[in-house]
Structure 1
Amino acid sequence: MKILMVVSAMVIVLSSCGSTQLEVSECKSTNWEQKGLKDGASGVDVLEFNNYVAACETENVVPDKEAYYSGFQDGLVTYCTYDNGVELGKRSGKYYMACKDYKDFGTGYAKGVDIFIEERERREVEKLTRPTVEMGKAVAIPGPAR
């Protein structure tokens, strides 16, 4: 069960890497509820809808805002999980607050940010404690005074 959750989270995270660009030719044929569902499930910023409106203006097509937002809300149910929150936080990813009503997502995001900070601090400590190389020679770092 846990593997299924991890795989699901990875699929959603990877799918959010895809482009949300909309070809002008798609304006007339797009099912706006399905587009909203896909965007919501991918963690796309809801304001992306404004870009769709702008793209479709050249075709004199007005995207169906109600259908898009309905689908978007349904998609958030898939996206706004604890596991996705952790993954986004670990990447120090942008959080658009779309999941503000999903407590588990926020808890996971906070956990992920903690992991991100711990890893960053660990790398910094490793840099400071690693022997440095000067002109091809290892330079010893003095220890504490005794």
Structure 2
Amino acid sequence: MNFIDKKLITAALVALLGGCAGMSEEECMVADWHALGFEDGAAGAQVAQLSRRRQACADYGVRPDTEAYRAGRSEGLRLYCTEQRGYRSGRAGQTYTGVCPANLEGPFLNAYQAGRDLYLAQHAVDEVAAAIHDHEVEREQLADDITDKSARLISDEATRDERITLLADIARMKKRQGELGTELDDLHQELALRQADYQNVEMNSPYR
């Protein structure tokens, strides 16, 4: 097992034991500040995470080893600030907060933007697909309501005034059905365009 593997295992263990900024008294007392810094750096956390950890441990009279934390964070950032992580972060729609050092930021940002372009293209597809689903659900509900109201309309129990209301309701719902049909046609065309855009972005991505 090499040095980096050991560091990754340590960081994972720290995360399980309380890697978030909220730390218990025991966690503060036994904290490996170098490992905590490595974990935060590998996760792309801002340096402000140290301040949150400091505040959490202050209640227990524990001061962080700032030097060890920063050294660990620098090591962790070397794992985070890679093209692979940049692409994965952008692809997942995560926000980049400018944590990478200047010598690593260029390749990271190029990959991040490529991943984000693909994320945005996929998001556009998902939005239109969701709108289509909502329209189809509404159309199905209208069909059920029209069936129910039509049955009531021809029933012996319906009064004259009720039939007048039912006829108006059915006419309104049928009009809405027609509008939904037109809107669905437009949405399916929009979906085809968005899917083509996504495929184009994916095909031209150097990180696919």
User: Does the alignment reach a TM-score above 0.5?
Assistant: yes
Matches within 5 A, 1:84-103: 84-101=85-102, 102=104, 103=106
Cα contact 1:37–1:74 (8 A) shared by 2: yes
| TM-score, scaled relative to structure 2 | 0.54
Q: CA deviation at 1:51?
A: 1.1
1:132 partner SS: helix
Q: Match for residue 112 of structure 1?
A: 115
Pairing 1:140–2:184 present: no
Matches within 5 A, 1:25-104: 25-101=26-102, 102=104, 103-104=106-107
| Unpaired stretches in structure 2, ≥5 consecutive residues | 1-11, 145-176, 187-208
| Unpaired stretches in structure 1, ≥5 consecutive residues | 1-11
Give, in whole Å, the separation in 1 of the partners of 2:112 and 2:70: 23
Cα contact 1:131–1:141 (8 A) shared by 2: no
1:30 partner SS: coil
Q: 1:121 to 1:30 in 2, by over 3 A?
A: same
Give, in whole Å, the separation in 1 of the partners of 2:84 and 2:143: 45
The structure that is strand-richer by fraction is 1
Give, in whole Å, the separation in 2 of the partners of 1:34 and 1:19: 10
Structure of greater relative contact order (alpha carbons < 8 Å, 6+ residues apart): 1
Q: CA RMSD in A?
A: 2.8
| TM-score, scaled relative to structure 1 | 0.74
Structure number with larger C-alpha Rg:
2
Identity between Structure 1 and Structure 2 (%)? 26
How many equivalent residue pairs? 130
Whichever residue aligns with residue 99 of structure 2, its letter is: A
Q: CA deviation at 1:45?
A: 2.4
Cα contact 1:86–1:110 (8 A) shared by 2: yes
Kindly provide the CA deviation profile for residues 47-72 of structure 1, in whole angstroms up to 9, marking residues without a partner as x: 11111111111121110111101110
Give, in whole Å, the separation in 1 of the partners of 2:101 and 2:31: 28
- Which moved further from structure 2: 41-50 or 126-135? 126-135
Q: 1:90 to 1:136 in 2, by over 3 A?
A: farther
Give, in whole Å, the separation in 2 of the partners of 1:129 and 1:19: 42
